[in-house]
């Protein structure tokens, strides 16, 4: 919801130079000097700031230089802009039998593009270990939140299974449940009852047997892909078969009554259900753009050749049939843009997420496609940045801990060469990224990306 994010934090003032001496600046500090700090709450810029990082957190923000201890690491921010790292709220982390090397590559690809927090949407026991390792800075990784393994029509077929699996996921300490399609209504109802009872959130898809209105009323933490919303626009007297909806409602495009978008948006606000659009999925996998053209994009060199071949095949299968047309896709996408815009303005709010790795969505790189999708849906650059910074912090009830460049917050930062509020292109190829105080320069990023590209040429 627009403006929701401005209500909850006390004011954090910068520390003046007079209050800072060598004695209270740690010898292990890193200072980003003379940098323009982006306030993602109101879009203001604090020029010429000195951001002091120590022990993974922003310890001071000064408006002029101090006498730094000799051992302090200085990063020249002159003429550059500092903003908080982004959250990818619909991410995927490889899991066994995929290799540890692929896991490490994927986590780095997120970081290389300024993604310092990820919400993994298909959990595995290994991801619980990764979450703790990232938290303790034992691995180079974004902050991790992880779902349970998938709850779907095959894995949860009875009420008894529903209760057992929800309790098990809670006991295993997953952050939330991941719901996939195919869940029958009575099973869904038990998942919801038990999840509320044991206090574990649930998020993801909306099963056909459930429907968007019941889903919103049940209290999802987030609905991803704007799933179920287009189907919810089809009038009852259309007498459609719900399971003939096609790809996220595409088959019902011409039946959708867009005048009822406001009703669903209002329900999302009343029930505090966030939405993760993953618009990049629809602009790339489901678009009329040729698969071969997408496969030639520069970022594709960071994916194994076998993966690219699979992506070409999957896209061709999805959009190659007689029932698919570019004209209907345009109408379908226009409805999605309108829903996204209204959900941002009048619903609970949006969370930035692109669904990566997914067909032609390379981890990290796809977040820039998602940001562009938000602009196409009517958001401003500031609003697009907010749904990837402040909004996730609000969602996780962690305001002040990440999502802003303020004293006391985790040092998850992006240093850009131009003002990102003027153009989101500035966030691409950042001058550097910091994750919990660890600095990755542009050279560091380029060297590691080249290693990943060379490795994947043979796979």
- What separation in angstroms does the CA of 388 have from each of 88, 96, 236? 7, 29, 36
DSSP for 197-241, please give it. HHT--EEE---TTT-HHHHHHHT-SEEETTTTTTGGGS-GGG---
Phi, psi dihedral angles at 226 (to 5 degrees): 55, 35
Q: Is residue 58 part of a domain?
A: yes
- For residue 430, give the nearest of 38, 14, 12, 136 by alpha carbon: 38
Provide the CATH number for the domain around residue 54: 2.30.40.10
Three-state secondary structure call for residue 151: strand
The predicted structure's pLDDT at residue 458 = 73
Start-to-end CA distance of the chain, whole Å, equals: 44
Q: Does 319 lie in the same domain as 292?
A: yes
Provide the CATH number for the domain around residue 302: 3.20.20.140
- For residue 223, give the nearest of 269, 169, 282 by alpha carbon: 269
Q: Does 415 lie in the same domain as 295?
A: no
- For residue 163, give the nearest of 131, 138, 127, 200 by alpha carbon: 200
Cβ burial 38-67 (10 Å sphere, 16+ → b, else e): bebbeeeebeebbbbbbeebbbbbbeeebe
Q: Does 432 lie in the same domain as 365?
A: no
Q: Does 257 lie in the same domain as 130?
A: yes
Q: Does 234 lie in the same domain as 354?
A: yes
Count the Cβ atoms, other than its own, within 10 Å of residue 198.
Answer: 13
Structure tokens belonging to residue 280: 């990049």
Q: Does 59 lie in the same domain as 175?
A: no
Q: Does 95 lie in the same domain as 21?
A: no
End of a domain among 372, 395, 418? 395
The predicted structure's pLDDT at residue 128 = 98
Beta pairing partners, 146 = 120
Q: Is residue 93 part of a domain?
A: yes
As a whole number of angstroms, the distance between CA 99 and CA 350 comes to: 33
Q: What dihedral angle (degrees, nearest 10) is formed by the CA atoms of 375, 377, 378, 381?
A: -20
Domain total in the chain: 2
As a whole number of angstroms, the distance between CA 334 and CA 164 comes to: 41
Q: Which helix (H) or strand (E) holds 131?
A: helix 125-135
Q: Does 94 lie in the same domain as 78?
A: no
Q: Is residue 144 part of a domain?
A: yes
Residue 459 buriedness (CB in 10 A; 0-12 / 13-18 / 19+): exposed
Q: Does 115 lie in the same domain as 225?
A: yes
Q: Does 287 lie in the same domain as 301?
A: yes
Residue 281 buriedness (CB in 10 A; 0-12 / 13-18 / 19+): buried
Q: How far is CA 451 from the centre of its chain?
A: 25
Q: Residues 260, 240: contact at Cβ < 8 Å?
A: no
Q: Is residue 17 part of a domain?
A: yes
Count the Cβ atoms, other than its own, within 10 Å of residue 326.
Answer: 10
As a whole number of angstroms, the distance between CA 5 and CA 262 comes to: 21
As a whole number of angstroms, the distance between CA 344 and CA 395 comes to: 14
Structure tokens belonging to residue 66: 């101090």
Q: Is residue 401 part of a domain?
A: no
- What separation in angstroms does the CA of 418 have from each of 58, 80, 232, 424? 22, 6, 42, 9
Alpha helices in 387-439, H assignment, sequence order: 390-395
Phi-psi region of 295 (alpha: psi -120 to 50; beta: other; left: phi over 0): alpha
As a whole number of angstroms, the distance between CA 346 and CA 275 comes to: 12
Say which DSSP state 354 is in.
-
Q: Is residue 244 part of a domain?
A: yes
Q: Is residue 428 part of a domain?
A: yes
Q: Is residue 2 part of a domain?
A: no
End of a domain among 395, 427, 446? 395
Beta pairing partners, 453 = none
Structure tokens belonging to residue 3: 């403006």
Q: Residues 389, 403: contact at Cβ < 8 Å?
A: yes
CA triple 403-405-411, angle to 5 deg:
80
> Tens place of pLDDT for every residue, the chain, 459 residues?
444 444 444 444 444 444 555 457 888 999 999 999 999 999 999 999 999 999 999 999 999 998 899 899 999 999 999 999 999 999 999 999 999 999 999 999 999 999 999 999 999 999 999 999 999 999 999 999 999 999 999 999 999 999 999 999 999 999 999 999 999 999 999 999 999 999 999 999 999 999 999 999 999 999 999 999 999 999 999 999 999 999 999 999 999 999 999 999 999 999 999 999 999 999 999 999 999 999 999 999 999 999 999 999 999 999 998 899 999 999 999 999 999 999 999 999 999 999 999 999 999 999 999 999 999 999 999 999 999 999 999 999 999 999 999 999 999 999 999 999 999 999 999 999 999 999 999 999 999 999 999 998 876
Tell me the pairing of strands 143-151 and 176-179. Answer: parallel
Signed CA dihedral, 363, 369, 370, 371: sign only: positive
Q: Does 107 lie in the same domain as 74?
A: no
Q: Does 179 lie in the same domain as 241?
A: yes
As a whole number of angstroms, the distance between CA 412 and CA 420 comes to: 16
Alpha helices in 237-325, H assignment, sequence order: 261-270, 279-284, 291-295, 305-319
Domain hosting residue 21, numbered range? 7-84+406-456
């Amino acid at each position: 919801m627009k403006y929701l994010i401005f209500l909850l934090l006390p004011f954090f003032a910068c520390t003046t130079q007079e209050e800072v001496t060598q004695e209270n600046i740690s010898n292990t500090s890193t200072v980003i000097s003379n940098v323009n700090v982006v306030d993602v709450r109101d879009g203001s810029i604090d020029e010429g700031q000195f951001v002091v990082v120590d022990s993974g957190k922003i310890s001071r923000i000064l408006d002029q230089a101090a006498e730094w201890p000799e051992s302090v690491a200085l990063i020249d921010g002159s003429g550059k802009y500092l903003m908080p790292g982004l959250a990818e709220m619909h991410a995927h982390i490889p899991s066994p039998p995929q290799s540890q090397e692929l896991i490490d590559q994927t986590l780095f690809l997120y970081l290389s593009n300024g993604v310092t927090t990820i919400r993994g949407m298909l959990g595995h026991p290994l991801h619980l270990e990764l979450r703790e390792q990232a938290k303790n800075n034992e691995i180079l990784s974004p902050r991790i939140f992880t779902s349970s393994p998938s709850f779907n029509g095959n894995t949860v077929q009875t009420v008894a299974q529903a209760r057992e699996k929800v309790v098990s996921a809670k006991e295993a300490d997953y952050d939330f449940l991941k719901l996939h399609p195919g869940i029958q209504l009575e099973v869904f109802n038990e998942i919801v009852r038990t999840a509320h009872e044991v206090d574990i959130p649930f998020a993801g898809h909306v099963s056909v047997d459930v429907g968007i209105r019941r889903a919103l009323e049940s209290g999802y933490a987030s609905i991803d892909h704007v799933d179920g919303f287009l189907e919810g626009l089809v009038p009852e007297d259309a007498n459609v078969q719900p399971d003939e909806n096609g790809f996220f409602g595409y088959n019902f495009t011409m039946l959708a009554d867009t005048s009822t978008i406001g009703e669903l948006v209002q329900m999302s606000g009343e029930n505090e259900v966030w939405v993760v659009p993953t618009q990049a999925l629809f602009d790339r996998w489901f678009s009329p753009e040729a698969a071969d053209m997408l496969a030639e994009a520069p970022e594709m060199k960071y994916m194994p050749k076998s993966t690219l071949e699979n992506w070409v095949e999957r896209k061709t299968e999805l959009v190659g049939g007689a029932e698919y047309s570019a004209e209907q896709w345009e109408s379908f996408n226009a409805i999605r843009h309108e829903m996204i815009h209204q959900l941002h303005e009048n619903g609970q709010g949006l969370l930035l997420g692109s669904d990566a790795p997914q067909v032609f969505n390379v981890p990290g790189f796809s977040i820039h496609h998602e940001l562009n999708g938000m602009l196409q849906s009517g958001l401003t650059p500031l609003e697009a940045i907010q749904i990837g910074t402040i909004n996730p912090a609000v969602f996780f009830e962690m305001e002040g801990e990440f999502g802003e460049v303020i004293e006391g917050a985790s040092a998850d930062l992006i240093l850009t060469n131009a003002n990102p509020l003027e153009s989101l292109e500035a966030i691409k190829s950042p001058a550097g990224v910091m994750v919990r105080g660890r600095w990755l320069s542009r050279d560091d990023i380029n060297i590691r990306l080249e290693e990943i590209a060379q490795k994947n040429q043979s796979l």
